[in-house]
Structures are given as structure tokens and as C-alpha cells.
Amino acid sequence: MVGRIPPPARRLAVRLGVFVASVVVASLLVFWVASALPGNVAQVVLGVNASPEAVARLEEQFGLTRPWPVRYAEWFGGVLTGDLGHSYLTGEPVVDQILPRLGVTAWLVGLAMAAAIIGSLPLGMWAAVRRRHLDGFLASALSQVGLAVPAFWLGIMLVVVFAVRLGRLPANGYVPLSSGVGDWAAHLVLPVVSLAGVQASVLARYVRSATIEVLREDYWRTARAGGWRTFPALMRHGLRNLSLSVVTVIGLQLATLLAGAIIIESVFALPGLGRLLLDAVAQRDLMVVQDVVLLLVVAVLAINALVDLSYALLDPRLRGGEREQGRGEDRG
């Protein structure tokens, strides 16, 4: 019966199993790291002058004195049912704190990744095609400089230039999209550019390497001999191979992008998940820390799973290999 399952379905089942197992392992690590954070949440809530007896009673009320397997099972079981628990400090449901901030982080990360892709493709391709010329060398050098510039430093410099000196863009804060596209976009320009700069540099280096490999292929020489110009030939015959490299790097860099978003949200005072996470860590609000970190980890795992599955769509050779393997197993 297993051999009769279509190869795409088997591939999807395997990836889904890996994803579920990864989420379970990640939840254990997140719970352990959050529990290992220094400080006492009960002490933070009651203040430094609270008596040990009062602190002990509050710890028992929060359930912090129970064995860790019981606390983990209760927390993760609640997550699976959509119950993220309540904040130790405010008593509010954690989901009510996460949902308003989720959109801010999603817009920041999504727009930054889109800007990085749009900027890196022409830069990397130009650096590869013109690698023996001065302009190609300068394009490659620009991507190298971008790798060395921290996102937070770039953000500060952009604030100094465009917000302080020129006064063209707001230095910090966030305006919801419902309040107007213009104000919303103006508050996101500098954070998005700051976060996209480093990612564009990383992607450009991979695009350059992948483009050089394309330029060495026989089909590229055939296309050029047939009268295709350089960049039209790349777009027509090499873009699929380039997309494989770009998609791979996107999956690998997503965790870095989310970590950078946490810092950028602090630099620009954006009310996103990163800001919520940093505040929760500072206040030892472990329930919020666990939920936010697990949400970010699940997002990374989900994107990586989608990237893995997208290879078969981008590369027909993988689909053909799966079909041949499936026929062999059926015959066996």
C-alpha cells in the first residue's frame, strides 16, 4: 500500500512529519530556555520589598512550583488548542497582546524580504555579468560592504539623514494602515530599508555565484549563439536556476531576518512582536516570552518547509526523479 502512494503525497507527508517533530522539539527548547532565565517573576510582580512568604505564595499561584513536565504539558497543550495562557504581570490573555503586534512584524519582515529580493537580483546579476569590468567590481564591492554593516547602525544613520537633517521621514513610531497609506508607508520606509540592506547584500552574493554558474552552462552558450542578448537570455533561460539559489537563501536567512526585526523594532519604536518580546524578557514575563518565541520559531520552520517543497515546483528534474522512483517502487 505504501508503494501505491503518489510520490508528491509521500514527499508532503514526510515534510509534514518533520515539521511536526521540529515544532515539538522546539517547544521543549523554548520552555527550557525561558525557565532558565535569571530572575523571579513573582519577585518582579510583588517588588523587591516583598516577603519570601508572599513570593512563595505567588509562585504557587502561578504554578511555578510544579514539576516542569507538568508545566510544559499544560502550556504546550494550551498552545495546541489556541490558549496561549495569561501574562504573569498584567493577567491579560497573551493572545490579546500578540495579535495587535503580529501585523506590524509581518509587514516589516514581508516588505523587507521583498525589497531585498528586488534589490539583490539586478545587483547580483550585474556583478556576475560585468565581473571583469569596473562597474561589476563596484557592484560586488557594494554587496560586500552591505554584509559588514549592522542593520541597527544603518537604521540609526538613516534616521540621522532622512529624519533629523532632512526632516523627510518620521524617526520612529507606527501608524496603522487603516489610518492612511501615506502615513503608514512613511513610518515603515526607514525600518524596511534598514532591515533589507543586509539581506539584499547576502542574496546578491548568492545571485552572483549562481549567475556565474549559469554563464558556464551549455544552454547559455546556445542561447547566446542563437542571438539572445545577455540579460534577456538570463531572464528567459537562467532565472529558474537563479530562483533555486534565492529561495534556498531566503529559507536560511529567515531566522536572521526575524532576529534583525527584533532589533529594528527597538531602534524605531515599532510596536511589534520583537518589542513585546524584549519587554517580556526584561520583566521576566515567562508566559509571553515562551509564546512569542515559539510563534517565531514555528514561522521559521513553516517557511523552511514551504521552501523545501517549492524545489519540486522550481526544478522539473526533481519531479521527474520522484516519478521514476515511484515507478521503481511500484514494480518492486
Determine the 3-state secondary structure of 196 from DSSP: helix
Report the candidate in 84, 215, 77, 197 with the shortest Cα–Cα distance to residue 146.
Answer: 197
CATH number of 102-282: 1.10.3720.10
Cβ pair 152, 278 in contact under 8 A = no
Using pLDDT thresholds of 50, 70 and 90, give the confidence band for residue 104.
Answer: very high
Q: Write down the pLDDT at residue 202.
A: 86
Domain boundaries along the sequence of the chain: 102-282
Report the candidate in 299, 266, 247 with the shortest Cα–Cα distance to residue 26.
Answer: 299
Q: Estimate to the nearest angstrom the gap between the alpha carbon of 208 and the chain centroid.
A: 22
Helix, strand and coil in the chain, % to nearest 5: 80, 0, 20
How do residues 237-271 score in pLDDT, each as one tens digit?
667 677 777 777 777 777 788 888 888 998 898 99
DSSP state at residue 152 = H
Cβ pair 125, 204 in contact under 8 A = no
Whole-Å CA distances, 183 to 108, 174, 180, 189, 332: 15, 9, 6, 10, 64
Phi, psi (deg, nearest 5) at residue 67: -60, 145
How do residues 35-69 score in pLDDT, each as one tens digit?
777 767 777 777 767 777 887 888 788 777 788 88
Give the number of other CB atoms < 10 A from CB of residue 169.
17
Q: Write down the pLDDT at residue 319.
A: 54
Whole-Å CA distances, 201 to 107, 139, 165: 21, 10, 27
How do residues 283-332 score in pLDDT, each as one tens digit?
888 888 889 999 988 988 888 888 777 766 666 555 544 444 444 444 44
- pTM above the 0.75 mark? yes
